[in-house]
Structure 1
Amino acid sequence: MLWRCTEKNISTTASPQCSSSPVTYFQYTTITPPQCLNYTLNTDATRNIGYTSSINNCDNTVPFSNTTSVWIRFQAPAGTLLASSPVPPNYCGTVVTGWYAGQYPSPVFTTATSIVCFYYATNTCSSCASISVTSCLNFYVYLLPQPPSCNYRYCTL
């Protein structure tokens, strides 16, 4: 499968081109995708954008420390969605905040492929990673890789 971040096609195994307004690719299906039935639930309240008590959390632990990406469903008190706009550093329990820069899929059983940006210092997309988001019946699941370093974290709302 090929996807595009800006002007040129690159494979999903290549490093994505970081942009705070990337292209999003959509894949539609009429049957329930397996990731809507088999995912890891994350309820960690410290990843919510309202959490500012500590900035020492990292997403370099299970389930993100796997060698392959893992489908994650966020649920309260974590929040239910990856943040979809830049989250300033030192929120959601970390220094380098991750937010989804692509478009969310709206039809049920649609998967979007785009990027998550990591906000560091004054750069809202200093680094990025390719991710997928699937719209299930009444929730989203995210195919998330391990972030590039400690103090990088996916932020939710």
Structure 2
Amino acid sequence: MKIFVLILVNVYMVHGYGKCFPEMVNKTYTDENGPQVVNTTSNTECCLHCVESVKCIANGLQMKSNRSKEFIDKMEKNHKIEIDKLKKEMEQMNTSHQIQFKENMDRMTKMEKTIQKLAAITLDGWTNEEYEAVQRRQECGTYLPLDEADRRIGTYKKSSDSDTNCDSTVTHWATISPRWKGAGWYRFQHPAGAKLAQSPPGKYHCGTVNTGWSNSTLPDKPGDSVDIKVFFDWSTDNGNAGDCSESNEGKVTNCGSYFVYYLRDTPACRLRYCGSN
């Protein structure tokens, strides 16, 4: 409605309704110098006189305001059908633009997916079936990153309990790993590595005391997912075959160019999943 009021006021001003009115001629008014009489005979003279008096200008603006409202009321009353039609056309235009914008966004999304598919088939040697299998795997696009530098298998540091990282949301003495958010799908990324360690890292590696690794076979085909068992190394510092009495169940999915893992909170603290290249 505000748009129509602005349009109507605009028309009002363009057609000359905004000028000083003849009613101002020979009008008596009072200013700071006492009673005054305007003895002008034209709109031009009236306007010039108005410049000399603040009260006269205020009176003129009030008259303009009244005439504006009268003009708008008449327009809405006499041209209701035309105005309603204009409103309807504007609403339709608005809706049309919104629909067109959504359609364009949908087209762009489809184009992007087509390009990704062609790249996977052409550059990575996937089959069409493998690509479609990966697309059906929600975890390939909704994982959380594990990319802390000290999570990498080669990181070694003997530390106190308070200075030790733990992949558990329940801990009484160690620090919860910065990227750990509880059970869920995770992807190991640089600088932590590209996948879960596949051999015992040894104690005091990966920013923790007891390190998590798995020797389960990884799925070969894109889109495939398998169960894995994760062990936590309680061995000597050098990683020689040690005690793996603590373990966890998990999953791993082949997403083509990377793997994602379903990992749970570690069974105790001072335990952490290790990344490897």
Give yes or no for TM over 0.5: yes
Of 119, 144, 165, 1:57 maps to 165
Tell me, what secondary structure is at the counterpart of 2:139? helix
> Relative to 1, partners in 2 of residues 1:59 and 1:115: Cα closer, same or farther, differing over 3 Å?
same
What does residue 142 of structure 1 align with? Answer: 261
Measured against aligned partners, the alpha-carbon deviations of 1:93-142 in whole angstroms (never above 9, x if no partner) come to 11101001211111101111020001113534221111100010200000
Scaled by the length of structure 2, the TM-score of the pair is 0.43
Which residue is 2:223 aligned to?
109
Larger C-alpha radius of gyration, 1 or 2?
A: 2
Match of 2:205 in 1: 91
Unaligned runs of 5+ in 2: 1-129, 169-175, 237-241
Q: Deviations over 1:7-30 (max 9, x none)?
A: xxxxxxxxxxxxxxxxxxxxx983
| Structure 2 Cα separation of the partners of residues 81 and 31 of structure 1 | 18
How much has 1:156 moved relative to structure 2? 0.8
User: Which moves more between the two structures, 138-147 or 99-108?
Assistant: 99-108
Matched residue, 2:141: 37
The number of aligned residues is 128
* TM-superposition CA deviations, 1:52-104 (whole Å, max 9, x none): 135412112366453xx210011100111100111111111111010012111
What is the CA–CA distance in structure 1 between the aligned matches of 2:209 and 2:252, rounded to whole Å? Answer: 24
| Bigger share in strand | 1
Q: Distance in 1 between matches of 2:258 and 2:264?
A: 20
Tell me how far apart the structure 2 counterparts of residues 104 and 79 of structure 1 sit (CA, whole Å).
16
One-letter amino acid of the counterpart of residue 87, structure 1 = P
Q: Which structure's residues are more often helix, by fraction?
A: 2
* TM-score, with length taken from structure 1: 0.74
Higher relative contact order structure (alpha carbons within 8 Å, sequence separation ≥ 6): 1
Which blocks of at least 5 consecutive residues in structure 1 are unaligned? Answer: 1-27
Equivalents in 2 of 1:65, 1:140: separation in Å? 18
Aligned CA RMSD, in angstroms, stands at 2.0
Alignment check: 8 A CA contact 2:146 2:180 kept: no
User: Among residues 208, 214, 221, which one is paired with 1:100 in the alignment?
Assistant: 214
Contact kept, 8 Å, 1:64 with 1:145, in 2: the verdict is no
Alignment partner, residue 151 of structure 1: 270
Map 1:115-130 → 2, pairs under 5 A: 115-121=229-235, 123-130=242-249
Question: Separation in 1 of the partners of 2:179 and 2:154?
Answer: 23
SS of aligned partner of 1:125: coil
**1:50 alignment partner AA:** G
Percent identity (aligned): 34
